[in-house]
Amino acid sequence: MKTVSVINYKGGVGKTTLVANIAANLATEGYKVLCIDLDPQTNLTFSFITVDNWQKKYQKSKTIKKWYDAFLDDESDFNISDLIITPERVNKDITGTGKVDLICSHLGLINIDLELATKLGGASPRQSRKNYLRVYSRLKNGLNNMEESPYDFVLIDCPPNFNIVTRNALVASDAYMIPAKPDYLSTLGIDQLQKHVDELIKDYNMYVSDTVEGSDEDEWDLLGPEMIGVVFTMLFIRSNAPISAQQAFINQVKRLSIPTFDTMIRENKTIYADAPQYGVPVVTQSVSGKTYIDVKSELKNLTNEFLSKM
């Protein structure tokens, strides 16, 4: 099972669209995929199920917030597998052995971070180390302790920040990728995001090493999620190439020696905006027309490139 976080500090860059379509495309290739929505905006959740369905069936008992609440309220726990649902609308268009499952988000997840922070302190350096590892490893341990691990991939849609929930995702991940619109604001924080991830890895692994030396009863693994690349999204294509203004920002990122995907995703408000309404990602829609074909081809190429990197 490979776990990948999808993150950018800037919202509105196509993060959720990429997660939904890569997941669906992987499923059509026969892979079993679990999507985890860690963004309080719940866009990934509502890309697969309706708001009404979420409110009636899942809001109270089947969201990632419920799982964190159990940890915060009374240090209790339950298996994260109990939160998994299988969205009907996306899976009815997938044949063979592949499937897409989902752990829903919740609007109240935005408050979880402050509450998790209260768990980080300790009366001694040893206790502080242990609490740090327990809090940041919460999601990692949850995935490792699933009753079964039937998934080839876990894709995590992260919030657009570097809070404790985001760090949970990165600690649980083997890799991370950064979708970015090629403009000033969307590319501005890419280098800083990499530095923050590197600092997290350094600090976490230092605490793991100190804990081992201190002979605590718990065992912790070192981590090192790999940055597999920036995916440029929302491109305006002219003569089969990005417009010059966007190409300048693409070149700028590449000059920083930041890994990038060769496949780029074009802007199309009509196609991408309609997809969540029907709960069916673009890649699994039965459509015709050159524009649809081009968009689906880009998403398929991106998924193939993702597989090659993983």
Band of residue 133 on the pLDDT scale cut at 50, 70, 90 = very high
Q: What is the pLDDT of residues 36-82, one digit of tens each?
A: 999 999 999 998 999 999 999 999 999 999 999 988 887 667 889 99
In the chain, the DSSP E strands lie at: 2-6, 32-37, 99-103, 153-157, 175-180, 226-232, 237-238, 241-242
256 φ/ψ angles, rounded to the nearest 5 degrees: -80, 5
Band of residue 286 on the pLDDT scale cut at 50, 70, 90 = low
Under 8 Å CB-to-CB from 211, ≥6 apart: which residues? 126, 129, 130, 133, 218, 220
8 A C-beta contact, residue 7 and residue 168: no
Q: Please give the residue that has the higher pLDDT: either 24 or 186.
A: 24
pTM of the model: 0.90
Domain ranges of the chain: 2-309
Rounded Cα distance, 59 and 63, in Å:
6
The predicted pLDDT at position 27 comes to 95
The predicted pLDDT at position 243 comes to 77
Q: What is the pLDDT of residues 224-237, one digit of tens each?
A: 999 999 999 887 77
The predicted pLDDT at position 139 comes to 95
Give the orientation angle of helix 125-136 with respect to helix 164-171, to 10 degrees.
Answer: 80
* Amino acid at the residue 295: V
Band of residue 172 on the pLDDT scale cut at 50, 70, 90 = very high
Right CATH number for 2-309 from 1.10.10.10, 3.90.1490.10, 3.40.50.300, 3.40.50.2300?
3.40.50.300
Give all strands of the β-sheet with 2-6 in edge-to-edge order: 99-103, 32-37, 153-157, 2-6, 175-180, 226-232
- Residue 122 scores a pLDDT above 80: no
Say which range, 14-23, 241-250, 259-268, has the weakest mean pLDDT.
241-250
- Residue 291 scores a pLDDT above 70: no
Band of residue 271 on the pLDDT scale cut at 50, 70, 90 = low
